[in-house]
């Protein structure tokens, strides 16, 4: 786990939190119980999960009205991500697009069982439905042999044909399935019909949204014996029925994805390397090995936020075979 900095080193910052930040920021994870979740976040990443409950998600960096990431160490310990965003924007985030809340939400997902077939709304439709637009990225951290994701449609289909399949209970027959392994990545633009199959551990980077419209949930029941709520009417308005046989991402060199909302790179660290340029922040997720930056350590499944005004921006591998995801918001977005 990240090492706490000594309070003596940060005396001036405690007196004036807006002074230059001297270390990356780490946050307390928020665990979310899901019907399809398991215990893999504990066995793979060492998370201290609530006992005997199926945990499907760990919200690692979140600025939601219902869920706030809290700084776990340093002079800003106890501050919420929203407080950082509203009170220390320049110091921590630098030159970023203006928005009411931090625009990204980062999670770990443990799909012990398969997720519901679902869609997230595009911008043009979300507001009319009372929801929030959501585009997301998945990186496969681990996957059982033969694990699959469901992505778009396997053949051209009209809305009317798909509605008929829903009524007949055959909607899953029309989804495009792709086998995945650790290291695979995929973009899920708003409007893409999708689900994660069983036996997959995912790192998710997404718009700051929690709007999901479920189409089919495999007839699962909750603890009370009830079927989960579906949102078929809303989903049919959002699904891109022309999205046929989409593929996994095939990045160039270190770049996995450059999108208006976020840029994601995968680095393999053989030596020290500067993670950000001046006036830019970055979020780092350790994938393998271990690394350190300004006396804060990361191991697999851990995240930290590197502030824009941090002087020591070098990340250093502390074990062979260290790799990471580097998440930023493009300055021209």
- 8 Å CB contact between 303 and 283: yes
Q: Which CATH architecture has domain 254-328?
A: Sandwich (2.60)
Contact partners, residue 163, CB within 8 Å, separation at least 6: 236
Residues 48-107 have pLDDT tens digits of 999 989 999 999 999 999 999 999 999 999 999 999 999 999 999 998 989 999 999 999
Give first-to-last CA distance, the chain, whole Å: 33
Distance CA 301, CA 324 (A): 10
Q: Please state which CATH number belongs to domain 29-68+104-238.
A: 2.60.120.10
Helix (H/G/I), strand (E/B), else coil: 246: coil
Output the pLDDT for position 225: 85
Nearest in space to 285 (alpha carbons), one of 33, 106, 55: 106
Distance CA 327, CA 333 (A): 14
Note whether 29-68+104-238 and 254-328 share their fold.
yes
192 catalytic, yes or no?
Answer: no
Q: Residue 249's Cα: distance from chain center in Å? A: 16
At 10, list the tokens.
């940060």
Band of the pLDDT at 6, cuts 50, 70, 90?
very low
At 278, list the tokens.
């001046």
Q: Could you tell me which residue, 19 or 216, shows the higher pLDDT?
A: 216
Output the pLDDT for position 332: 59
Mean pLDDT for the chain overall: 92
Segment 191-215 shows an average pLDDT of 97
- Domain boundary assignment for the chain: 29-68+104-238, 254-328
Output the pLDDT for position 7: 37
Catalytic residue among 40, 214, 313, 326: 214
């Amino acid at each position: 786990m990240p090492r706490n900095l000594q309070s003596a080193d940060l005396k001036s910052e405690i007196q004036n939190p807006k002074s230059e930040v001297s270390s990356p920021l780490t946050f307390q994870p928020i665990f979310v119980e899901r019907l399809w979740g398991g215990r893999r976040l504990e066995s793979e990443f060492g998370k201290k999960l609530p006992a005997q409950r199926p945990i499907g998600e760990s919200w690692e960096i979140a600025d939601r009205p219902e869920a706030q990431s809290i700084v776990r160490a340093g002079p800003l310990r106890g501050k919420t991500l929203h407080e950082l965003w509203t009170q220390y924007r320049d110091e921590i985030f630098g030159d970023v697009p203006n928005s009411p809340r931090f625009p990204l939400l980062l999670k770990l997902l443990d799909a012990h069982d398969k997720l519901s077939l679902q869609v997230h709304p595009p911008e043009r439709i979300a507001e009319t439905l009372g929801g929030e637009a959501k585009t997301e990225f998945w990186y496969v951290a681990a996957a059982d042999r033969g694990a699959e994701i469901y992505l778009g449609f396997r053949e051209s289909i009209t809305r009317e044909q798909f509605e008929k399949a829903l009524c007949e209970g055959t909607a899953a027959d029309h989804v495009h399935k792709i086998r995945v392994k650790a290291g695979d990545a995929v973009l899920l633009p708003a409007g893409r019909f999708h689900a994660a199959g069983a036996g997959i551990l995912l790192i998710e980077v997404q718009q700051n949204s929690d709007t999901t419209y479920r189409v089919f949930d495999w007839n699962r029941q909750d603890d009370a014996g009830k079927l989960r709520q579906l949102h078929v009417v809303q989903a049919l308005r959002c699904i891109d029925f022309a999205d046929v046989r989409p593929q996994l991402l095939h990045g160039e060199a270190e770049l996995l994805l450059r999108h208006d909302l976020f840029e994601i790179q995968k680095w393999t660290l053989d030596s020290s390397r500067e993670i950000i340029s001046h006036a830019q922040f970055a979020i780092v997720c350790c994938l393998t090995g271990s690394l350190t930056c300004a006396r804060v350590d990361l191991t697999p499944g851990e995240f930290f936020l590197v502030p824009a005004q941090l002087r020591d921006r070098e990340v250093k591998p502390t074990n062979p075979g260290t790799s990471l995801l580097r998440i930023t918001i493009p300055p021209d977005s």
